[in-house]
Copies of this chain bind each other. A is one copy, B any other.
Amino acid sequence: MENNKNNTQLKGTEKLIMEAAKKIFGRKGLDGARMQEIADEAGINKALVHYYFRSKDKLFETVVNETFSSFFPKAMSLMSDPSISLFKKIERFVDLYISLIQENPHIPGFMTQELGRGRAERVLDMFKDSGLKPEVFFQQIEQEIKAGTIVPITPVHLIVNMISMCIFPFIARPLLSGFLIMDKKDYDEFLEVRKKELPKFIINSIKKK
């Protein structure tokens, strides 16, 4: 803690700045964040941030790119795999999604930060670059409908529902924590329960009776 300079050398300053930037940008957004704050968080000087990443915008760009490009492929390659059954896919999707965000708590912040402004294009591009093939998932749904395994549902709405229920609780976390008076332990437990209940909830809602 006190010999931060040594850590700097060991971990690599650039990496250190990136981590700090993720944290601060995720919390405060591009406009709300201060370069000074990021430097402090990284335990280095403000000028050094500019030395590695020309400008604030460039740093933000870099960090967002890295974040999303590690995020989408994992979730999306799963959805595009035709060899996995629909129900199994739902189960794995929920688990993967929630676990991933658990490990990268700054992601929902970026998500909303980016979407809140007119900056959806980049996110979209990454969706597409990630090899996402929504058709595979859509076809799978329509196949099951025809086969009579699940009730008729518009595929788009199903996927929107799934994503909504995975992401939103993280966005609304402060609200949840305050409203139901959850401490960190309660919240973690809430998420573990959710990992199990959510797939059942989704499958139940489409499975034919």
Interface of A toward B, CB cutoff 8 Å = 27-32, 109, 112-113, 115-118, 120-121, 123-124, 127, 151, 153-154, 156-157, 160-161, 163-165, 167-169, 171-180, 190, 193-194, 197-198, 201-202, 204-206, 209
CB neighbours (8 Å) of A151 from chain B are 204
Which one, B164, B180, B198, B205, contacts A169 given CB within 8 A? B164
Extra contacts besides A163-B168, A164-B165 (15): CB < 8 Å:
A28-B31, A28-B116, A29-B29, A29-B31, A31-B31, A109-B116, A112-B171, A115-B175, A118-B174, A120-B175, A127-B175, A153-B197, A157-B193, A160-B168, A171-B171
Which A-B residue pairs are the 10 nearest by beta carbons?
A205-B205, A120-B174, A164-B168, A31-B31, A112-B112, A209-B209, A31-B32, A124-B178, A164-B164, A204-B205
Cβ B190 vs Cβ A156 within 8 A: yes
CB neighbours (8 Å) of A201 from chain B are 153, 157, 161, 205-206
Which one, B31, B123, B198, contacts A157 given CB within 8 A? B198
CB neighbours (8 Å) of A118 from chain B are 27, 174
- Classify the interface of chain A: helix, strand, loop or mixed: helix
Task: Say how many copies of this protein the assembly contains.
Answer: 2
Complex alpha-carbon distance, A46 and B192, angstroms:
50
CB neighbours (8 Å) of A165 from chain B are 160-161, 164-165
Complex alpha-carbon distance, A66 and B169, angstroms:
25
Q: Would you give the shortest CB distance from A167 to chain B, in whole angstroms?
A: 6
Known contacts: A153-B201, A154-B193. The answer to whether A27 contacts B163 by CB under 8 A is no
CB neighbours (8 Å) of A164 from chain B are 164-165, 167-169, 172
Known contacts: A31-B29, A190-B156. The answer to whether A174 contacts B205 by CB under 8 A is no
Known contacts: A190-B156, A193-B154. The answer to whether A171 contacts B115 by CB under 8 A is yes
Which one, B27, B113, B124, contacts A179 given CB within 8 A? B124
